[in-house]
Structure 1
Amino acid sequence: MADAPLCPLSGQPMRRDVRPFTITYKGRGRTFDMPGWYSDAGDESVFTRADLKVSDRHLATLKAEVENLAGPDEVARLRRRLRLSQAEAGRLLGGGPRAFQKYESGEVVASRGMTNLLRLLARHPEEMAQIAAEAAGTLQNASR
């Protein structure tokens, strides 16, 4: 294991593993399996960027639950119900071309405004046609 990091305390090679990890947000906790490099000699751990994405998604989901915001799965479900691609949703509803990719990956938590908009449009999907028409009209007027 030449590429295994060394434990900062013992100097021994660490090993790749998955262990329980607990995060808390506003007094509410969640435990999940966290991939990373772990020391057999103690509680030391090292996480890669990919490992941290796992914890980021769990934190985003926990924050969404506590704050009653749309979490990654709800954002994806509502967007699909509206028959929008991620890029279309970002263009029509706001946030830019990668906003919904970030919401759905848990990289970014949907705001209160975006949560309310998605939930409202899911109850009244006919409004999506008006939003799309107005966006198309704005684009046509801007190009004149």
Structure 2
Amino acid sequence: MTNCKICKSENINQFIDIENITYKGTVLSVSMEYSICDDCEREFVSKQQILNNDARVRDAKKVADGMLTSTEIYEARMALRLTQEQASLVFGGGKNAFSKYERAEVTQSAAMDKLIRVCLKHSNIFNELQVSAGLPARSNQLCYEDNIVQYPKRKAANQERFKPVKSIELLRDVAYG
């Protein structure tokens, strides 16, 4: 809680209002925090509220640009089972990049956004990036090349390249994009 700088009162109420912001010709509605002193009726924005408001504006702009929000980046990192440090090794961007992306302190580049999305859809590409970053690849990832079903009457021209599937064990749903 913050004290009023004018009257030093601790009777401060916090509010959230919707503010319209124009961005690239589009009006974005963003919830913004502020405070009002009950004693002197001074309206002000604390340092923490400024940081929260900046993060909300940044995320609203990301949505308008079709990019992942800070929460979605966190969820993607969790889905890929990476720490922030491992994510920076795999995707690049610097030692503290993912911490800043997830706090909406910094907006990721369009290329970073696309790379994260590709890795969420294509586990084989993600595995290659992990190995190139010096991290162990996951052996339980499913890949469609390993799940070819043989048909008894006809054979594919390249069937000898593939081993027959005796049983299919589904470890988790995987999108093949």
Partner residue of 2:113?
Answer: 115
SS at match of 2:95: coil
Q: Which moved more, 1:115-124 or 1:69-78?
A: 69-78
Structure 1 spans left out of the alignment, 5+ residues: 138-144
Q: Deviations over 1:70-90 (max 9, x none)?
A: 111111111111111111111
Pick from 123, 126, 133 the counterpart of residue 125 of structure 1. Answer: 123
Task: State the structure with bigger RCO (CA 8 A, min sep 6), 1 or 2.
Answer: 1
Q: Give yes or no for contact 2:4–2:37 (8 Å, CA) kept in 1.
A: no
Per residue, is there more helix in 1 or in 2? Answer: 1
Say which one has the larger Rg. Answer: 2
Could you tell me which amino acid in structure 2 is paired with residue 59 of structure 1? V
Partner residue of 2:27?
Answer: 28
Counterpart-to-counterpart distance in 1, 2:72 and 2:47: 25
Partner residue of 2:84?
Answer: 86
Question: How many residues align structurally?
Answer: 130
Counterpart-to-counterpart distance in 1, 2:131 and 2:8: 62
Partner residue of 1:18?
Answer: 15
Partner residue of 2:165?
Answer: none
SS at match of 1:136: coil
Could you tell me which amino acid in structure 2 is paired with residue 18 of structure 1? F
Give me the TM-score of the superposition, normalised by structure 1: 0.76
Give me the TM-score of the superposition, normalised by structure 2: 0.63
Identity across matched positions, percent: 20
Deviation at 1:58, TM superposition (A): 0.9
Q: Deviations over 1:5-31 (max 9, x none)?
A: 12xxxx796834213141414232224
Counterparts of 1:1-144 in structure 2, within 5 Å, are 3-6=3-6, 15-26=12-23, 27-34=26-33, 36-38=34-36, 45-136=43-134
Counterpart-to-counterpart distance in 2, 1:31 and 1:135: 38
Structure 2 spans left out of the alignment, 5+ residues: 136-177
SS at match of 2:133: helix
Shift in alpha-carbon separation, 1:78–1:49, aligned structure 2, 3 A: same
Counterpart-to-counterpart distance in 1, 2:14 and 2:76: 35
Partner residue of 1:141?
Answer: none
Counterpart-to-counterpart distance in 2, 1:4 and 1:39: 6
Task: Give the alignment's Cα RMSD to 1 decimal.
Answer: 2.6
Q: Deviations over 1:118-141 (max 9, x none)?
A: 00110012222211222229xxxx
Deviation at 1:37, TM superposition (A): 3.2
SS at match of 2:19: strand
